Amino acid sequence: ETAVFQTPNYHVTQVGNEVSFNCKQTLGHDTMYWYKQDSKKLLKIMFSYNNKQLIVNETVPRRFSPQSSDKAHLNLRIKSVEPEDSAVYLCASRGWGGQDTQYFGPGTRLLVL
């Protein structure tokens, strides 16, 4: 049962363009994340938001910026894409208290030409 939704599924663009990816969760969770999954399937956290506030900002290039309008939405904007940004971007959410489980969306695959 899908509860973390991501759009688009797939996006092809050229170097220098701006792209924006959307994520919405219907689980009522307070914390959301963005991960990057590279071609070797390595998963690395990029950002974490708790109730619209940024709490984790890993070392990512400044052209990446998360945007949150409310705790159910966490979007990702890339200002000027580079070839190395080609990857799958995964959104996830986590419950509160002692619930550690993160629930992932299906991902957005970005291809930069």
Partner 1 sequence: GDSVIQMQGQVTLSENDFLFINCTYSTTGYPTLFWYVQYSGEGPQLLLQVTTANNKGSSRGFEATYDKGTTSFHLQKTSVQEIDSAVYYCAMSDYGSSGNKLIFGIGTLLSVKP
Q: Which stretches of the chain bind partner 1, using CB under 8 A?
A: 4, 31, 33, 40-45, 48, 50, 55-56, 90, 92, 94, 98, 100-107
Closest CB to partner 1 among residues 29, 112: 29
Tell me the three-class secondary structure of 44-55, residue by residue. Answer: EEEEEEECCEEE
Q: 84 by DSSP, 3-state: which?
A: helix
Our CB check for partner 1 shows the closer of 73 and 79 to be 73
Closest approach, Cβ 90 to partner 1, in A, equals 5
Nearer to partner 1, 3 or 79 (CB): 3
